[in-house]
Structure 1
């Protein structure tokens, strides 16, 4: 009996986890995307992957667009489907990739929202006395200092920080490791946290940041605490880990102008991803120009 779509999906997810070593969250995203594809196939009585062709993939995209799925989500689904068929091609189960050449509806690329330098200073001016506040300040200082992703920050172990040379070793997307500098204030905040960590952490816990239960602090826990601190410190915008990472990149690019260096620090594989921050910088300059240049000011009607 020929193997079903589900059989090959099971093998594909094992391939993602064991061969490609993708993060659990990335595999979850693949599962969600391909469940949508499977539902579409069931409705069209498509029982095996070789039966899916480019016309049906285009019909799937059109259907999802009509249902209101965001263009970015459709683009990610197409990427998941292409990856599946590249795997099936490797396994000689199909002869073509029906998702190649199919694109998602275009969406306007939104600029990342950042905190300005004053907002960052206000956020980090925490008069921390209890262990959890000291931990939270160290988390935010480190994220802003080194531009870490949330998953990278949550995954840090004790031995990932080199205090002598002020460096942090992180494992990013695709299990790629990079070593990043850590600022003076972040190192001080981390040392303050280490002085309190043992009072919370379980004896065999290797995580750098732990919860009140003594186990590794989750990404969701970090998000919640950061949002709470934004409110406590009186910021009028929502504070979350990605916003601190975006702020790190934007402020560094404003000061240095070195796009390649920012790309390396952020761990972007494609410099096109990093170039979004040049648009932020230009947007700021344009506002200054419009406000200050005598020929730019518009006369009121």
Structure 2
């Protein structure tokens, strides 16, 4: 790893660490998040007088975490930032630059398990069933159908290329987190939306461009553009509250689980490496069951005296 970076609060050895992440197929989004979290940690450590990571002791990290907790950061955010520091310290230990990891044994405030935001089928179907007013809306609806119908992440949709689609088989090859590839089914609604978009795609596609979804300028569509377009469509068609792309993936998982009860199939569809990650949707499924029970069971609620 390289020596300390210039600038009082620039984390030492950051460039080499990010290069290692890139070599391990970490996405640009993941590398940017690590860089932000390490910069935050190093700002505190540098203020405590440290000049390089090997000088770090447990009390330095405890003070940093205590400061951020006092500033109102959630346990979830603190855990993510500490995970970035631990990843860097593990790299230093592998290189023999430190003997012991000073982050071991640190305890964080307990995080409440936060359920992902999702959408109910009725408003979601209302949004997706609207006809496209122009070519860009046809593109938008095809992307939304894939996120909801196939459970794709926003980055996965933006990364699709024409050869990844097999319309005859109703399938798509998706490049997920960590460079892992999976095949997902593409349902009839998504196939219909794609068949509407694909004849319009040449209006935007420069020669040789293989990205499935393009901006109006003919470039592969950016995640921020998808968010903006979804917000526009949601407002246009009367959906209340903030709607973001990941809600469609969550809706896919929870609606699939409600109707199938097959947690492992949901895990495979979403591309989760661990079933524990997928199990959060059992909580969403229980919430759905509780609502139905309250509405339908004659003895679910008692009249108040």
Structures share fold, TM-score greater than 0.5:
yes
Q: Does 1:124 align with 2:128?
A: yes
Structure 1 residue runs of 5 or longer lacking an equivalent are: none
CA RMSD of aligned residues (A): 1.5
Q: Secondary structure at 2:183's aligned position in 1?
A: strand
CA–CA separation in structure 1 for the residues paired with 2:192 and 2:177: 28
Q: Which residue matches 2:18?
A: 13
- Aligned pairs for 1:1-301 (under 5 A) are 3-4=3-4, 6-18=11-23, 20-301=24-305
Q: Secondary structure at 1:92's aligned position in 2?
A: coil
For residues 228-247 of structure 1, the C-alpha deviation after alignment (integer angstroms, 9 at most, x for no partner) is 11111111232221110000
Q: Under a length normalisation based on structure 2, what TM-score does the superposition of the two structures give?
A: 0.94
Q: Secondary structure at 1:41's aligned position in 2?
A: helix
| Alpha-carbon offset, residue 3 of structure 1 | 3.4
Structure 2 residue runs of 5 or longer lacking an equivalent are: 6-10
| Alpha-carbon offset, residue 87 of structure 1 | 0.6
| Alpha-carbon offset, residue 206 of structure 1 | 1.4
CA–CA separation in structure 1 for the residues paired with 2:54 and 2:12: 14
Q: Secondary structure at 2:238's aligned position in 1?
A: coil
Q: Which moved more, 1:101-110 or 1:201-210?
A: 101-110
| Alpha-carbon offset, residue 9 of structure 1 | 1.9
Contact 2:132 2:138 (C-alpha < 8 Å) held by counterparts:
yes
Q: Secondary structure at 1:198's aligned position in 2?
A: helix
Q: Under a length normalisation based on structure 1, what TM-score does the superposition of the two structures give?
A: 0.95
For residues 43-82 of structure 1, the C-alpha deviation after alignment (integer angstroms, 9 at most, x for no partner) is 1111122211222212211111001122211111111111
CA–CA separation in structure 2 for the residues paired with 1:125 and 1:142: 14
For residues 177-229 of structure 1, the C-alpha deviation after alignment (integer angstroms, 9 at most, x for no partner) is 11100001211211211100001111122110001111111000001101111
| Alpha-carbon offset, residue 133 of structure 1 | 1.2
CA–CA separation in structure 1 for the residues paired with 2:110 and 2:138: 44
Contact 1:50 1:95 (C-alpha < 8 Å) held by counterparts:
no
CA–CA separation in structure 2 for the residues paired with 1:103 and 1:127: 52
Q: Secondary structure at 1:180's aligned position in 2?
A: strand
CA–CA separation in structure 2 for the residues paired with 1:242 and 1:3: 39
CA–CA separation in structure 1 for the residues paired with 2:300 and 2:133: 50
| Alpha-carbon offset, residue 287 of structure 1 | 2.2
| Alpha-carbon offset, residue 300 of structure 1 | 2.1
